[in-house]
Amino acid sequence: MEQLADARGLEVVAVYEEQASAAKRRQTYETMLRDAKRGKFSVLVIWALDRFGRSMVGNLQDVLELDRIGVTVVSVRESWLDTGGPVRSLLIAIFPGSPSKSAGGSSRGRELGSSRRGSGERRSDEGDR
């Protein structure tokens, strides 16, 4: 994920990594969403959409919410998932109609909150770990 952030000229300002795989309350995930709403970062790099949250429908809803508040979501594994890219309108149009399915397996996930370099935001190596 750090390589993708660096290749896109993004500065990592926070790292959000879940430690528990079956926790009922995902405190790190909630912190990431709260930080996004506060404008702490403008780009969220995720490993994969199915590792982002507990269900595909919930994942898509969160991606749409992040897009609504101005946070671009980029996936390492799914090169098509870049809500700041040229297919953004198509993705946003398709997501609400996506089928419901469970992500299955562990719900552990890791995300990077990033900002475009030179955006005036200071670098922070702190994050929930």
CATH code: domain of residue 30:
3.40.50.1390
Q: Is residue 129 part of a domain?
A: no
Per the CB < 8 A criterion, the answer to whether 17 and 28 are in contact is yes
Q: Is residue 106 part of a domain?
A: yes
Q: Is residue 122 part of a domain?
A: no
pLDDT in tens, 36-94: 999 999 999 998 888 888 788 888 889 889 989 999 999 888 888 888 887 777 877 77
pLDDT at position 53 is: 80
Q: Which of 21, 99, 93, 20 is nearest to 59 (CA)?
A: 99
3-state secondary structure the chain: CHHHHHHCCEEEEEEEECCCCCCCCCHHHHHHHHHHHCCCCCEEEECCHHHHCCEHHHHHHHHHHHHHCCCEEEECCCCCCECCCCCHHHHHHHHHHCCCCECCCCCCCEEEEEEECCCCCCCCCCCCC
Q: Is residue 112 part of a domain?
A: yes
Full residue range of the structural domain in which residue 57 is found: 2-116
pLDDT at position 64 is: 87
Q: Is residue 30 part of a domain?
A: yes
Query: Against a cut of 0.85, is the pTM above it?
Result: no
Residue 2 or residue 43, greater confidence: 43
pLDDT at position 108 is: 45
Q: Is residue 123 part of a domain?
A: no
Q: Is residue 93 part of a domain?
A: yes
Q: Is residue 121 part of a domain?
A: no
What's the domain count of the chain? 1
